[in-house]
Chains A and B, each alone.
Chain A
């Protein structure tokens, strides 16, 4: 059983599982968004969690002071995601029945004063936070380490938890891409949302049915590409950033053969059996074509599709292409992860001469 869990949590299976799970989640959100579902699944999750905690290796990872808050946050993510779906499911049923969403009902449209209603709530929340922080700092010691040494790094060297998704991303990409371009695009993309998304539906109330694409796109990026990667980076990456299943000992000498190969080497050396051309652009021609094909081809495909053309109409050209560009770049991450797992592909385009690798 534990062996099975260890194998299945390997990213290539667990990420596939996450994608399938996400699809089911989007499809059956009405069932998921019920209190009954929440309580029963919570019982199962907690049961599994307690069972897993019996294992000394898993226990050690979970109670490591750095990781305790992450576990708490993960439960918070589960709860709040479910909560929004719960609200959305209620509203969608009401909207279908011709009613207004709960937030728009007469009794909810009444206005109240900021002072004292909001300020009191905030005061209470603030006080509670301070109390929790104090208790926390008493019970969990700060995991201090020895003074920094520029010629030595701890093993595994882990970023703060909120960056562990990014660090996990760096396994698949060049530092310039995963460290600068992609995070930059995430931030720019999040800032751009209100400018790209001018659809007034869903403003001020929870809904899923009216905003399936927007919800799906955002939740996928958040849950599958960010939270999932944080989980992997935090709990399942051990010494040498090797993957360890939840019940596996962090054995420093675990060997994983993962010699990675660039697409250009695949093509010239393995495919054609000749040496690589010395001209950089000729050498990387396949990767360049594939990447351009990915962007241009999928954009054209989108334009053709029904959803694409209706989006194009409602958003206008500029917004539409910006949206496609951002979505395709987001898609680059899972695509690249699968290519690495399935073919040990290192870079599609490898031009270390220009510090450009994709």
Chain B
């Protein structure tokens, strides 16, 4: 019975302690790994921003907010809209080609008209539009948390454009 210097009960006691310690260590490690997947500093662009005055914009595509905020402001047919610069195919960043008057995605070649509607390549639906409005001082405010999708008929929504 005492050959190994350890009672059956004590053995199971140690076994439990061992397993608990192991699971705790593993749990701690996994939680560290999980924490590691979140960035310490977030470089994502702001979700809403003030984009100058409505009459800052000429007819056509304006690229000044593209690099900072990922938004094209487009003035067309008396409307000012905020177009997302994320390809609806797989999320690359298309380029505006002024000579061809279209957006063209470098990843798989999707093309969009100036108003954001897709016409070539694999993109399944038009680019998304963001909420755009005027604040009390008459400045343009773009809010990227609110999205308007063409195929759901949301581009008629009053928040999706400003009349100019």
Which A residues fall within an 8 A CB radius of B? 149-157, 167, 170-175, 179, 239-242, 253, 255, 258-260, 346-347, 350, 352-353, 355, 357
Question: Is A241 a contact of B89 with CB atoms below 8 Å?
Answer: no
Specify which chain B residues have a CB less than 8 angstroms from the CB of A255 in the assembled complex.
100
Binary contact readout B91-116 vs A (1 if CB under 8 angstroms, 0 otherwise): 01111010110001111110100000
Closest-CB distance, A284 to chain B (whole angstroms): 13
Binary contact readout B10-46 vs A (1 if CB under 8 angstroms, 0 otherwise): 0000000000000000000000000000000001110
Contacts A151-B68, A151-B70, A152-B67 given; indicate if A353 touches B152 (C-beta within 8 A).
yes
Question: Is A151 a contact of B107 with CB atoms below 8 Å?
Answer: no
Question: Is A151 a contact of B66 with CB atoms below 8 Å?
Answer: yes
Question: Is B122 a contact of A170 with CB atoms below 8 Å?
Answer: yes
Question: Is B120 a contact of A153 with CB atoms below 8 Å?
Answer: no
Instruction: Pull 16 A–B residue pairs with CB atoms less than 8 Å apart, ordered by A.
Output: A150-B45, A151-B68, A157-B106, A170-B89, A171-B122, A173-B122, A174-B122, A175-B122, A239-B106, A240-B106, A241-B108, A260-B120, A346-B122, A347-B124, A352-B124, A353-B152
Which B residues fall within an 8 A CB radius of A? 43-45, 66-70, 85, 89-90, 92-95, 97, 99-100, 104-109, 111, 119-122, 124-125, 151-152
Specify which chain B residues have a CB less than 8 angstroms from the CB of A154 in the assembled complex.
106
Specify which chain A residues have a CB less than 8 angstroms from the CB of B100 in the assembled complex.
253, 255
Question: Is B121 a contact of A171 with CB atoms below 8 Å?
Answer: yes
Specify which chain B residues have a CB less than 8 angstroms from the CB of A357 in the assembled complex.
124
Which of A153, A179, A253 makes the CB contact (< 8 A) with B93?
Answer: A153
Question: Is A175 a contact of B151 with CB atoms below 8 Å?
Answer: no
Question: Is B93 a contact of A240 with CB atoms below 8 Å?
Answer: no
Question: Is A170 a contact of B108 with CB atoms below 8 Å?
Answer: yes
B120's nearest neighbour on chain A, judged by CB, is A258
Question: Is B45 a contact of A151 with CB atoms below 8 Å?
Answer: yes
Question: Is B108 a contact of A259 with CB atoms below 8 Å?
Answer: no
Residue of B44, B89, B107 with most partner-chain A CB within 10 A: B107
Which secondary structure characterizes the binding site on chain A? loop
Give Cα A172 to B100, complex, Å.
23
Give Cα A157 to B85, complex, Å.
15
17 new A-B pairs (CB below 8 Å) besides A175-B122, A179-B90, A260-B119?
A150-B43, A151-B45, A151-B93, A153-B92, A153-B94, A154-B106, A157-B92, A167-B107, A171-B122, A175-B89, A241-B105, A241-B107, A258-B109, A259-B120, A352-B124, A353-B152, A355-B124
Closest-CB distance, A186 to chain B (whole angstroms): 18
Specify which chain B residues have a CB less than 8 angstroms from the CB of A171 in the assembled complex.
108-109, 121-122
Closest-CB distance, B122 to chain A (whole angstroms): 6
Question: Is A155 a contact of B89 with CB atoms below 8 Å?
Answer: no
A175's nearest neighbour on chain B, judged by CB, is B90
Ranked nearest first, the 9 interchain pairs of A and B with the lowest CB-CB distance are: A241-B109, A155-B106, A153-B93, A352-B125, A151-B70, A157-B106, A175-B90, A240-B104, A352-B124
Which of B89, B94, B121 makes the CB contact (< 8 A) with A258?
Answer: B121
A253's nearest neighbour on chain B, judged by CB, is B99
Which of A149, A179, A240, A353 makes the CB contact (< 8 A) with B109?
Answer: A240
Contacts A352-B124, A357-B124 given; indicate if A150 touches B106 (C-beta within 8 A).
no
Closest-CB distance, B72 to chain A (whole angstroms): 11
A258's nearest neighbour on chain B, judged by CB, is B120
Give Cα A67 to B155, complex, Å.
44
Closest-CB distance, A82 to chain B (whole angstroms): 33
